[in-house]
Chain A
Amino acid sequence: MRHIISVILEDEAGALSRVSGLFTQRGFNIESLTVAQTTDPTLSRMTIVSSGSERVLEQIVKQLNKLIEVVKVTDLTSQDHVERELMLAKISSTSKEGVDLKELVEIFGCKVVDVKDKIYTIEVSGKTKKINAFLDAIEPSNVIEISRTGVTGISRGKKLI
């Protein structure tokens, strides 16, 4: 089962490699991992998407907690939460297909953020499923390059990590 794990950790050199090293060392799977600063400049927030049984997840959470620099670990999937991923995609487009592309951009509620050499750069954000659906709707040979951030997420309402 897929899990979104939020980790608050000290913003120190080496902390990221400790987390990624842990996943390799113990054979846990990582689908995506994102990390950035929080409102407290000494802390970073990491979002990891992983999959495994309940027992594997329990070990992941415990092993993450065991890392000295980790302040807090939460499994977002076990609670009410919002999740998003962002993709930048470069799509080549002939004029005919250009019409389709504009339609698609509208349907999926995304944005064209750049055009150069007849290549459109499109910003798509949403749940992973929506991004996949957008890609499925485009002729694969027209997809020049994509860059995805991986999932980030946050709990709903008053509940904090």
Chain B
Amino acid sequence: MELNGAEILVDCLQKEGVDHVFGYPGGAVLHIYDALEAQDKITHVLVRHEQGAAHGADGYARANGKPGVVLVTSGPGITNAVTGIATAHMDSIPMVVISGQVPSPLIGMDAFQEVDATGITRSCVKHNFLVRDISEIANTVKKAFHIATTGRPGPVVIDIPKDITIAKMEKEEYPESIEIRSYKPTTKPSNRQIRKAAELISNSKKPILYSGGGCVIGNASEELREFTRMLGFPITQTLMGLGAYPMTDKQSLGMLGMHGTYEANMAMHGSDCVVAIGARFDDRITGNLAKFCPTAKFIHIDIDPSQISKNVVADIPIVGQTAQVLQALIDELKDKELSDISKWWSQIEEWRKVDSLAYEKSPGFIKPQTVIEALYEVTEGKAIVTSDVGQHQMWAAQYYLFDEPRQWINSGGLGTMGFGLPAAMGAKLAMPEKDIACVTGEGSIQMMLQELSTMLQYATPVKIINLNNGYLGMVRQWQEFFYEKRYAMSYMDALPDFVKLAESYGHIGIKVDKEEDLKSALIEAFKQKERTVFLDIITDPSENVFPMIPAGGAHCDMLLAGRDEMISKDETDFNAV
């Protein structure tokens, strides 16, 4: 049977098991849309802006682990999607983006809606393809999904010129598997490295496990739990890793880094053995590299060799899949005797008593931290929470104690404002049974507000928790601390009436400006199972995120809420342990 390129493409997507495509039509992809319309295995979600398509597919992928699929047209279609692609790339999210291209003979002629899609996306994708012949479609799609989902996952762009979607050929079988000779990620760790790591781990007296997004994306949560409990070590997780190990567990020290807990950062600073598991020593984690973990030896586990010894030189590098490496370490360490770390734990308990997440309520104001705590209570800690970027993101990470992987969805690497709402929509489509909360702020939400319309069309009920303090809060916080309170452009005037706005999009809007109404409003919102509810919560405009390591600081240099002086390591004798 003869099929055109568009039909072959859609057939490939079906065979790949794709059930949702997030996209927006345009001239170069009309044949593909025509082929999509003729089938019913794949649901197309018509977003209102291509960036929303990429974030939607991203949220979908983060929630259920399957690759997100995006379909956009040439020119502005793909350029609008770039922010979403870069967001997925920084956080290693599996995604396949199909972009239309002008017909092959017009490429390079500055044709209408032409951009060099592979050129523009090259530095923010794992790989990209420009399809040059109809016979390449099936193999290219197979390769794209293979590359996007294996090794360290990431987005792959397939750029298809329009004439190739129109051309016809005899239908070919979609390949079951594919070999790429130049692409063979290492998944199994080297035995030698495992033995060396086990030796260091079992002899360490002040160990700490530092786990990251690689444990969530690599589905290593079970192995991580077994490993951590077997060793009895303290564990701290990065912003991207939260939930892989339950945050309510007594071995969990919470998040580390710039806004991490006192106990997590101090434990990193005092440790003699840091085991990094699927984490990449990002600058928001390490602070000043020269002062980072001065007494530690590093074991670094990562699927991507280029992450190892990039920022921090690893003493024992282990390349492999987090789950496989952890399993190998569990097997190796099972019968090994460990050093006594009870003194280390009692030191950590001392640090814990500092209670670095404590905050003071101010009368007449709703504290943003209180909102997250109430959200946690009302949802019994079981909701999937997405966030945008800024103060609200940090509060959500600090005060919602995630116990499961894939429960916390945020743009950690790129820090993309506007991510939260479309990601929540994607997460709801991936996990329809789950309650989804999008924690956002009045700044971020306005960057992707138009997706409220998509959410009505596709009935994806989420609860939007808008922490409205009238400021671009994180910018304001930095200006307060480091720019002598010169608040340049961080105040947002002329805000819309979010309640009416939500209503005009066909959703429910509730404004909350008194703390006593907070809980009942949240309960009411989550009762509305079939509806999207926009909770516009007016919060204390002067609240800051604490603890905080100022730029250039070490983990032991932390600003704590309500304390004027920086707590520094001089107060702690690290050698006493």
Which A residues form the contact surface with B (CB < 8 A)? 9-10, 13-14, 17-18, 21, 25, 55, 58-59, 62-63, 65-66, 68-71
Interface size on B, residues (CB 8 A): 21
Contact indicator A68/B123 (Cβ below 8 Å): no
Which of B181, B304, B313 is within 8 Å of A66, CB to CB? B304
| B residues 286-322 in Cβ contact with A at 8 Å | 304-306, 308-310, 313
Q: Which of B123, B127, B313 contacts A21 (CB 8 A)?
A: B123
B112 within 8 A of A: no
- B41 interface hit (Cβ, 8 Å): no
Which residues 79-124 of B have a CB within 8 angstroms of A? 118-119, 122-123
Say yes or no: B118 contacts A71, CB within 8 Å.
no
In chain A, what residue has the closest Cβ to B128?
A14
B478 to chain A, nearest CB (A): 26
Contact A10 B310 (CB under 8 A): no
Q: Separation in Å of the A106 CB from the closest CB of chain B?
A: 46
Measured between beta carbons, the chain A residues less than 8 angstroms from B304 are: 66
Nearest-neighbor residue (CB-CB) of A68 within chain B? B127
Which residue of the partner chain, among A9, A17, A18, A68, contacts B147 with CB atoms under 8 Å?
Answer: A68
A102 to chain B, nearest CB (A): 48
Q: Judging by beta carbons under 8 Å apart, are B181 and A71 in contact?
A: yes
Report the Cα distance A59→B147, complex, angstroms.
21
Is B499 part of the contact surface with A, judged by Cβ < 8 Å? no
Top 7 nearest A-B pairs (CB, nearest first) are: A62-B306, A71-B182, A68-B127, A25-B123, A68-B183, A62-B305, A66-B306
Q: Which partner residue on chain B sits nearest A25 by CB separation?
A: B123
Say whether B130 faces chain A, with CB atoms less than 8 Å apart: yes
Closest to B309 in A: A58
Complex Cα gap A71–B182 (Å): 4
Residues from chain B with a CB closer than 8 A to the CB of A66 are 304-306
CB under 8 Å from chain A, chain B span 125-147: 126-128, 130, 132, 147
A69 contact from B119, B130, B182, Cβ within 8 A = B182
Residues of A within 8 A of B132 (CB): 13
Chain A residues, Cβ within 8 Å of B118: 14
C-alpha gap A9/B127 in the complex (Å): 14
A68-B126 CB under 8 A given contacts A9-B182, A10-B182:
yes
A17, A63, A65, A70: the one contacting B122 at CB < 8 Å is A17
- CB pair B122–A18 under 8 Å, yes or no, is yes
Residues from chain A with Cβ under 8 Å of B309 in the complex: 55, 58
Interface check B180, CB cutoff 8 A: yes
Question: What is the CB-to-nearest-CB distance from A11 to chain B, in angstroms, rounded to a whole number?
Answer: 11
In the complex, which residues 178-212 of chain B have their Cβ closer than 8 Å to any Cβ of chain A?
A: 180-183
Q: Contact check, B122 vs A21: say whether CB atoms are below 8 A apart.
A: yes
Cα–Cα, bound, A62→B304 (Å): 9
Are B306's CB and A59's CB within 8 A?
yes
Q: Report the separation of the CA atoms of residues A63 and B304 in the bound assembly, to the nearest whole angstrom.
A: 10
**20 additional contacts, CB 8 Å, given A21-B123, A59-B310, A63-B306?**
A9-B182, A10-B182, A13-B130, A13-B132, A14-B128, A14-B130, A17-B122, A18-B122, A25-B123, A62-B305, A62-B306, A65-B305, A65-B306, A66-B304, A66-B305, A66-B306, A68-B126, A68-B127, A68-B180, A71-B181
A110 to chain B, nearest CB (A): 38
Instruction: Write the chain B residue with the least CB distance to A8.
Output: B182
Interface of A is mostly: helix
In the assembled complex, which residues on chain A have CB atoms less than 8 Å from the CB atom of B306?
A: 59, 62-63, 65-66
**Shortest beta-carbon distance from B414 to chain A in Å:** 15
Residues on the B chain within 8 Å of A58, using CB: 309
- Distance of A68 Cα from B178 Cα, bound (Å): 14
Whether B181 contacts A55 by the Cβ 8 Å rule is: no
Q: Check if B182 sits within 8 Å of A17, measured CB to CB.
A: no
A21, A55, A65, A66, most chain B CB atoms within 10 A: A66
Nearest CB on A from B118, distance (A): 6
Q: List 15 A-B contacts (CB under 8 A).
A: A9-B182, A10-B182, A13-B130, A13-B132, A14-B122, A17-B119, A25-B123, A55-B309, A59-B310, A62-B305, A62-B306, A66-B304, A66-B305, A68-B180, A69-B182
Chain B proximity of A132: nearest CB distance (Å)? 34
Shortest Cβ distance from residue B301 to the other chain A in the assembled complex, whole angstroms: 16
Nearest CB in chain A to that of B307: its residue = A62
B123 and A70 form a contact (CB under 8 A): no
How far, in Å, is A23 (CB) from chain B's closest CB? 11
Cα A14 to Cα B116 in complex, Å, equals 11
Instruction: Kindly state the separation between the CA atoms of A18 and B119 in the bound complex, as whole angstroms.
Output: 9
A17 to B304, CA, bound (A): 22
Q: How far is the CB of A8 from chain B (nearest CB, A)?
A: 9
- A58 vs B313: C-alpha distance in the bound complex, in angstroms? 11
Chain B residues, Cβ within 8 Å of A10: 182
Chain A residues near B147: list those with CB within 8 A. 68
Residues from chain B with Cβ under 8 Å of A18 in the complex: 122
How far in angstroms is the closest Cβ of chain A from B8? 21
Residue ID in chain B nearest A22 by CB atoms: B123
Query: Shortest Cβ distance from B142 into chain A, in angstroms?
Result: 14
Q: How far is the CA of A14 from the CA of B131 in the complex (A)?
A: 12
Q: How far apart sit A62 and B306, CA to CA, in the bound complex (Å)?
A: 5
Instruction: Report Cα–Cα, A66/B126, bound state, in Å.
Output: 9
Asked if B182 and A68 make an inter-chain contact with CB atoms under 8 angstroms apart, the answer reads: yes
Tell me how far the C-beta of A68 lies from the nearest C-beta in chain B, rounded to whole angstroms.
4
Chain B, residues 308-345, CB within 8 Å of chain A (1/0): the string is: 11100100000000000000000000000000000000
Bound-complex Cα distance A57 to B182 (A): 21
Among B132, B182, B304, chain A packs the most CB atoms within 10 A around the CB of B182
C-alpha gap A66/B118 in the complex (Å) = 18
A68 to B181, CA, bound (A): 9
Chain B residues near A68: list those with CB within 8 A.
126-127, 147, 180, 182-183
In the complex, chain B residues whose CB is within 8 Å of the CB of A21: 122-123
Question: With A and B bound together, what is the CA distance between A59 and B123 in angstroms?
Answer: 16
CA A66 to CA B123, docked complex, whole Å: 13
- In the complex, which of the residues A14, A55, A63, A70 contacts B313, with contact meaning CB atoms closer than 8 Å? A55
Minimum CB–CB distance from B303 to chain A (whole Å) comes to 11
Complex Cα distance, B313 from A71, in Å, reads: 26
Residue on A nearest B124 in the bound complex, by CB: A25
A26 to B311, CA, bound (A): 13
Find chain B residues with CB under 8 A from A9 CB.
182
Within the complex, the shortest CB–CB distance from A118 to chain B, in Å, comes to 42
Q: Which residues of B contact A70 (CB under 8 A)?
A: 182
Which residues of A sit under 8 angstroms from B119, Cβ to Cβ? 17
B290 CB to nearest chain A CB (Å): 15
CB distance from B101 to the nearest CB of A (A): 14
